[in-house]
Structure 1
Amino acid sequence: MLRHRGETVDRFVVSVAVAVRRDDDAGHLGNQVGVMPVPVAVTGDPVQRLAAVARTTRARRPADPATSAALLGPVFRLLARVGAFRWFVDRQRQVTTMVTNLRGPDVRLSFLAAPIIDVLPVSPITGNVTVGFAVLSYAGTVVLTVVGDPLRCPDLPFLQARLQQELDLLTVGPAGKQPGSVVEAGRPGDRRQRPRLRQQFGQETA
């Protein structure tokens, strides 16, 4: 998309939400989330880039995921108290975009005896981050939602088309052949364990 705009970058820094709730804290309600910055290359073979992202994510995952929340929480509260939080998020240069990845139930759920067919994840964007991504696995499908500011990112349809092409390369490969990449679930060639992939896109004003 940036090349389409005439811009050039070598990598992005993605802010990935990580749960900080401990197993012994399940009795307390509410979100407990930290953040983990992950650098992502924007050029090269898609399968190799995906493998590199997986390695980087594993290496950067903190032993105590609550650390980032403990460090950033007081800073953000102080900025908000002095009225500088909006100024900060509108001018920050630490992250390019935000990603939320949730693993949902493996089986289809129901509500009042009605089956829940689809679940669409939606995550907010803020400040000068104009596009965000939310991923949710549910009952054998993976749903990817792109949320963007249509005023500052009017080329969302172009981003959708390019992202769809990348996902197709990772899941079915050129000419419909399996790429044999890390996105395959289960053993190589075991298609029974491989989840169906579905992409759905939405637009929302920040």
Structure 2
Amino acid sequence: MQRFTIGDAAELAGDVGPDPRLIGVLAELDAPIDLDRLRTRVAERIGEQPILSRRFVRQGKAAWSASWEQVGIDVVDHVFAVGADDPVAAAVEIMVAGLPETIPMWRLLVLRSPGATHLLFVAHHVLLDGATAVAVVGSLLGAGVPAERPAAKRRWTAILSLLAATTRGSSATSLLTPLTSGFRLASVEVDLGPVHRAARRAGATVNDVLLVAIADAVRAVAARRGERLRRVVASVPMTGLPTDPGGRNQVGAFLISIPERRPQQTDRELLGRLAVRTRRRKLLARGSSGSFALSAVLAGLGRLGWYRPMFERQRAITTLVTNLRGPVEPLTVHGVGVRSLTPISPALGNVTMVFAAVSHAGRLRVTARLDRSVWGEQDVLTDALRAALTRLAASRV
């Protein structure tokens, strides 16, 4: 048995609902895949990922008293097929239902629907963070996935930035409302090349382009409600390389306020302005030394039952944004091609719109996890997000 780190405890303390704190990636395949061959592949490679053989054991109410236990893996329990008329809706149902704690909390599911096959990898966030999950799935399926560059000196959870923030909080908005159980996924996909080139012309990154586009989309939803968001604040995780035997990544986060466009300001100028902010925020996050204390605070809030009430009232951030770098070349699984990847991130407290992006084979897909309270504005969100990404990718001045 291996005791939880304080970072593990903080992450587990955040699993307070209304939905389980799970992460996932949904891969659309271009042909059916043989389940037995998939199980054989996973069984052959599972030893390379010891983190997938860990289950957590609770020992009392306090998250810090939990431990990791290494157990044997029966691939039949973790890799199986499910019928699904709508694969995306089925993935949501699976993630809302949650995973039992009796075995390691991850699954690789074949979702079979009329005329289509999808693979869904889902895991508890205390077991894997997003970037680690991408690398783990790539290893299991024999596909190379680029590792993220080192970022944080210590393991954090992304939510620590809510307490560590030194930026002004979000503008008041009805979009910040306690989450309800269940969610929808809405995706927008564009060519990665033009986005990357536009970012470079502005001295920015693809992540900066995403932040501007997402802020535009969030502001469009708020405008539909008659609100103006002068400050859209995003919490953005930074991921480093695995350093412990289990393979967990180091995770840090920074808060960034995405500015409104000034009169006569071009997209290139706006991106350049944001790029300066993000570089400064990343440096501040890397230099922070309070992660242990903040993790202890979060674990303590969970023990006292204050975690969910506090985060349902937070006004520090408007949204959560994750950007994962996927494979440059098209993925294949036993000769079956992967058409697209859809990332699924957990939500938190009162953040009703959570965004995750992943690149794959020259395409960039941005997926919004939407609480029920914003389902009526789904089309407004996706139309604005697509328009912003297209406009920013074409910007030259």
Give yes or no for contact 2:355–2:368 (8 Å, CA) kept in 1. Answer: yes
**Displaced runs of 4 or more, over 6 A:** none
Q: Deviations over 1:27-73 (max 9, x none)?
A: 43235422210111133444332222222111111373785743432
Q: Provide the secondary structure at the position in 1 that maps to 2:373.
A: coil
- Within-5 A mapping of 1:109-148: 109-148=331-370
Give yes or no for contact 2:352–2:373 (8 Å, CA) kept in 1. Answer: no
Task: Say yes or no: does 1:55 pair with 2:276.
Answer: yes
Percent identical across equivalent pairs?
Answer: 31
Task: Say yes or no: does 1:70 pair with 2:288.
Answer: no
- How far does residue 103 in structure 1 lie from its aligned partner after superposition? 0.9
Larger Rg: 2
Q: Provide the secondary structure at the position in 2 that maps to 1:64.
A: helix
Output the amino acid matched with 2:228. Answer: T
User: Compared with structure 1, are the counterparts of its residues 66 and 80 closer, same or farther at alpha carbon in structure 2 (3 Å cutoff)?
Assistant: same
Q: Deviations over 1:59-89 (max 9, x none)?
A: 1113737857434322211100110000111
- How far does residue 124 in structure 1 lie from its aligned partner after superposition? 1.7
Measure, in 2, the Cα distance between the counterparts of 1:53 and 1:71: 30
In structure 2, list runs of 5 or more residues that go unmatched: 1-219
Output the amino acid matched with 2:309. Answer: W
Measure, in 1, the Cα distance between the counterparts of 2:316 and 2:235: 9
Question: Could you tell me the TM-score, scaled by structure 2's length?
Answer: 0.40
Q: How many residues align structurally?
A: 173
In structure 1, list runs of 5 or more residues that go unmatched: 173-178, 182-206
Match of 2:260 among 42, 53, 70: 42
Measure, in 2, the Cα distance between the counterparts of 1:75 and 1:51: 36
Measure, in 1, the Cα distance between the counterparts of 2:365 and 2:225: 27
Greater shift in the superposed pair: 143-152 or 41-50: 41-50
Task: Say yes or no: does 1:7 pair with 2:7.
Answer: no
Measure, in 2, the Cα distance between the counterparts of 1:70 and 1:54: 29
Measure, in 2, the Cα distance between the counterparts of 1:136 and 1:69: 27
Task: Say yes or no: does 1:29 pair with 2:247.
Answer: yes
Output the amino acid matched with 2:396. Answer: G
Task: Say yes or no: does 1:86 pair with 2:302.
Answer: no
Q: Provide the secondary structure at the position in 2 that maps to 1:61.
A: helix
Give yes or no for contact 1:20–1:66 (8 Å, CA) kept in 2. Answer: no
Higher relative helix content? 2
User: Compared with structure 1, are the counterparts of its residues 79 and 130 closer, same or farther at alpha carbon in structure 2 (3 Å cutoff)?
Assistant: same
Give yes or no for contact 2:252–2:286 (8 Å, CA) kept in 1. Answer: no
| Bigger relative contact order (CA 8 A; separation at least 6) | 2
